[in-house]
Amino acid sequence: MIIDYAALVAEARIARERAYAPYSRFSVGAALLSADGRIFHGCNIENASYPVTLCAERSAFAAAWSAGVREVVALAVVADTAGPVSPCGMCRQTMFELAPDLAVLLANLGGHEQHTTPRELLPGGFGPDSLLK
């Protein structure tokens, strides 16, 4: 599958506009591309009880998994940062668990981009193979 990264970033920008970030004012958008060509949006949803906050990346994965999708091929994440946005540890762990070889494009509103994968973002990551059988 050929991935149109520009279109995927555009979708992440749309998702970013839906963020609920009244405390940090740091809106993040994500767009997750499934193997069948569907795009699932995610945005951060903050909460006054900070640990309850949901990140954009995990929000996009939750939307896809809730729809029954298990094969994803690319994820774009966008925020208003100086360089490409960096996912938090929980998002890195979620990506590593569900799609360790996913093509990930980290971007900012200024057009800076970084291509990576969950394996690169979380070297030595803890996954299903780490558990005793």
Catalytic residue flag (residue 57): yes
What one-letter code names the amino acid at 9? V
Q: Exactly one of 57, 71, 97, 120 is catalytic; which is it?
A: 57
Q: Which of 107, 55, 57 lies closest to 80 in space, CA to CA?
A: 107
H or E element that contains 61 = helix 56-66
**31 has which bridge partners?**
41, 76
Of 58, 76, 109, 70, the closest CA to residue 4 belongs to 76
Nearest Cα neighbor of 21 from 45, 41, 3 is 45
Inter-CA distances, 79 with 25, 51, 57, 59, 126, Å: 11, 20, 12, 15, 27
- 3-state secondary structure at position 34: strand
Catalytic residues: 57
